Structure 1
Amino acid sequence: MRIAQVAPLIESVPPKLYGGTERVVANLVAELTAMGHDVTLYASGDSRTSGRLISIVEQALWTVGAPSNDLAYHTIELSRVLRDAADFDIIHSHLDFPAYPYGRVSPTPWIHTMHGRLDAAELQPLYREYSETPIVSISNSQRKPLAGANWIATVYNGIDTTRIPTGSGQGGYLAFLGRISPEKGVAEAIEVARRVGMPLKIAARMPLTNLDNEWVRADWAYYNEQVRPLLDDPLVEFIGEVDDAGKYELLKDASALLFPINWPEPFGLVMIEALACGTPVIARAIASAPEVIKDARTGFLCDTLDAMVAACSRIGEIDRAECRREAEQRFSARSMALGYLDAYRAVADARACGSGLMSDLDDFFGDQPSPNALRHHIDAWAIPAES
């Protein structure tokens, strides 16, 4: 198939440090090209891919200072994809709802993977307006706020397990990987480690620098008020952001990964990265965690922090080899690619049979797609993206 992958411009594909969606896109492109498909990646110019790269911006936006609103850049990207639409059999967007109007008017079918949370009240009118849009969830739990949407598949995120080393977990420490924000629960991870008396290594991205953004201000307040005072504890080692090599080195020797989330995490890529290293996961039993972790087999699902503390004493019950097998069998890049290929064919077949909504491209745009043509449709709905 001739496949377009439309990636966020926030980070490069793959990201050099933190960046879940971009890492998933990189794994998907690599696997699809290895299968013999003709893949074109729309992304930042500092991306690396085995497919054909079409650069929208020279560098990933967050590497040159986070813009207060990245919608303008993504509007340009989507306009270029639409301009090229006839070159593809399927267009796969990873940009969430801003891409919906483009898929509606495209001569080529689109699918949209939803990588973020879907429960924002202000977005519900938009989701209703585009209820025919073919969308893919990355966990079944992610679907709950939009039960009536046109869900065509759930495809779990996948990783290249052949590139991830396994370890013995003999480092004797707990690990936390993520970003500094209330929903990721780094303060709770520190509390668990202190209560069980185990060292905790934290590899986390600091909040961004654009303080005009209320989400960023909230993250900094959380760091300064709840996290920073705890970092002086001798049990706590704050490492900061790490690249893939540093991440796997940290995970493979950890006794367990702590995943004390406080939000409806759509997937949680770090959980399967830990499993690939053979490292069990101690997670709150909410959102996607029960779909990823098998309780008492590849980790522990906990309703409270007390339960997470108790689970730390049971880490030795987990077979690390089973954790690795679970990653290989359920969360490989190949499994992900096969799932998406099924979705592509289903959408393409539906379009060929005449189902779905299709508008006239010329009537919508005129002779030439404009980068700003859809701004009035989606600017009112722009909110900061979840990572």
Structure 2
Amino acid sequence: MHILIVHDQQIPVSGYGGTERVIWGLAKSLNSLGHQVTFLVPAGSSCPFASVLNWNPQLPLNDQIPEYIDVVHLNQLPQESLSKPYVVTIHGNLNSDTLLDKNAIFVSQNHALRYGSNSFVHNGLDWSDYGKPNLKLSRNHFHFLGKAAWRVKNVQGAIDTVLMSPSETLAVLGGTRLNLKMGFRMTWSPRITFYGTVGGQQKLDLLSQSKGLIFPVRWHEPFGLAITESLYFGCPIFATPYGSLPELVTSEVGYLSNNHQELSQAILSADDFNRNDCHAYARDVFDALTMAKKYIKAYENVLNGQFLNEEIPRIMDGNIPKFLPWS
């Protein structure tokens, strides 16, 4: 079949670009399985294994879908009724006023269930883009990976967890020492190092030398690419039990608690986790090829005239607090 993947950001990714990495790996895997892929993305994009069309946000989407396309894969909710069979991946948490779609696909089972759906596909990545990690490297810090300016990501919780330990250090990937977006917030401790938004080899090096990911989010995380990326580099996960995390983080590869004292105690035993097991779990379960095969089943369903959800998904509990408990 010929799949059109629609996204509102350029490819290939230039920085972190979580969704861009997912759809890149998806297209590459679909291509390897014998399918044709075309991207409809903003001007300036390119791809060596798929055709690229320039998306114009000023024009109706239907006018930009070529006749030869069999199925459309959207990564944002459609603003019009489409003439072609389609699916739409819901990548984030949407508010209760957002009208979803009967062909919505969520990125974890928990994500789907919170909207009354059973339609989900776990995110996968093309691990060849990351190289084969050296799991025998010495580990000298923990890391936080995410948009630290988002309060739900709780970088302060990660900092507090590390500082409660006798001497552990933390590399913050995705934040700065002085943060003015949430008022004046300055982290003084020399045990916390900030790297800003990192990508490329610097990011891979930092993950390769990390003892583990500290990820104390205070919302229901839809998926969390930081989790699977960290696991791939042999890093166990120390996080809160919210959203997809109990689904992704088994006791063999991490520890979950919403209490920073418990997490601080747990990180002292980071070396007890088997780094090879962490790596193999991410490599074999959260890879782009596994993801692509599941999306193909969804494409086949909509091509056969089926909806992926019997009813339009809607948020099941609109009373979830903005910040989930953390102590």
Shift of 1:16: 1.1
Alignment correspondent of 2:181? 221
Of 160, 167, 172 in structure 2, the residue corresponding to residue 202 of structure 1 is 172
Shift of 1:25: 1.0
How many residues of Structure 1 are paired with residues of Structure 2 in the alignment?
A: 303
C-alpha distance in 2 between matches for 1:18 and 1:168: 25
SS of equivalent residue, structure 1 residue 146: coil
1:269 aligned to 2:269? no
The AA in structure 1 aligned to 2:142 is L
C-alpha distance in 1 between matches for 2:43 and 2:12: 11
CA gap of 1:168–1:257, structure 2 versus 1, over 3 A, is farther
C-alpha distance in 2 between matches for 1:168 and 1:260: 27
TM-score calculated relative to the size of structure 2:
0.86
Asked if the contact 2:164–2:261 (Cα under 8 Å) also holds between the matched residues in 1, the reply is no
Per-residue CA deviation, residues 356-378 of structure 1 (Å, 9 max, x unaligned), is: 99xxxxxxxxxxxxxxxxxxxxx
1:312 aligned to 2:267? yes
Alignment correspondent of 1:41? 39
Per-residue CA deviation, residues 102-152 of structure 1 (Å, 9 max, x unaligned), is: 3xx33321101000103x1322xx23xx5xx211110011123321x5x5x
Asked if the contact 1:261–1:284 (Cα under 8 Å) also holds between the matched residues in 2, the reply is yes
Asked if the contact 2:89–2:104 (Cα under 8 Å) also holds between the matched residues in 1, the reply is yes
CA gap of 1:307–1:53, structure 2 versus 1, over 3 A, is same
Alignment correspondent of 1:87? 68
C-alpha distance in 2 between matches for 1:347 and 1:205: 41
1:234 aligned to 2:190? yes
Asked if the contact 1:14–1:25 (Cα under 8 Å) also holds between the matched residues in 2, the reply is no
Tell me which stretches of 4 or more aligned residues in structure 1 moved more than 3 Å. Answer: 80-83
CA gap of 1:356–1:52, structure 2 versus 1, over 3 A, is farther
1:121 aligned to 2:96? yes
Asked if the contact 2:4–2:37 (Cα under 8 Å) also holds between the matched residues in 1, the reply is yes
**Higher helix fraction: Structure 1 or Structure 2?**
1
Structure 2: stretches of 5+ with no match in the other structure: 312-327
Alignment correspondent of 2:25? 27
Of 283, 301, 306 in structure 2, the residue corresponding to residue 328 of structure 1 is 283
Alignment correspondent of 1:156? 122
Asked if the contact 1:2–1:87 (Cα under 8 Å) also holds between the matched residues in 2, the reply is yes
Shift of 1:257: 0.8
Of 137, 157, 176 in structure 1, the residue corresponding to residue 144 of structure 2 is 176
Asked if the contact 2:216–2:258 (Cα under 8 Å) also holds between the matched residues in 1, the reply is no
Per-residue CA deviation, residues 151-206 of structure 1 (Å, 9 max, x unaligned), is: 5x311111122332323352320111111220111111111111112111111056
C-alpha distance in 1 between matches for 2:171 and 2:207: 10
Shift of 1:18: 2.5
Per-residue CA deviation, residues 329-363 of structure 1 (Å, 9 max, x unaligned), is: 21011001111011111111125x9x999xxxxxx
Of 107, 116, 121 in structure 1, the residue corresponding to residue 83 of structure 2 is 107
TM-score calculated relative to the size of structure 1:
0.73
C-alpha distance in 2 between matches for 1:48 and 1:236: 38
SS of equivalent residue, structure 1 residue 159: coil
C-alpha distance in 1 between matches for 2:207 and 2:256: 19
1:145 aligned to 2:142? no
C-alpha distance in 2 between matches for 1:53 and 1:234: 46
CA gap of 1:259–1:168, structure 2 versus 1, over 3 A, is farther
Asked if the contact 1:85–1:108 (Cα under 8 Å) also holds between the matched residues in 2, the reply is no
Alignment correspondent of 1:51? 50
SS of equivalent residue, structure 1 residue 86: coil
Shift of 1:81: 4.8
Q: What percent of counterpart residues are identical? A: 25
Shift of 1:320: 0.4
CA gap of 1:309–1:169, structure 2 versus 1, over 3 A, is farther
Alignment correspondent of 1:382? none
C-alpha distance in 1 between matches for 2:121 and 2:249: 16
The AA in structure 2 aligned to 1:185 is N
SS of equivalent residue, structure 1 residue 175: strand
Per-residue CA deviation, residues 256-300 of structure 1 (Å, 9 max, x unaligned), is: 0111111111000011011111111111111111111112x1111
Shift of 1:42: 1.1
Per-residue CA deviation, residues 234-254 of structure 1 (Å, 9 max, x unaligned), is: 101111111132221111110
C-alpha distance in 2 between matches for 1:36 and 1:51: 12
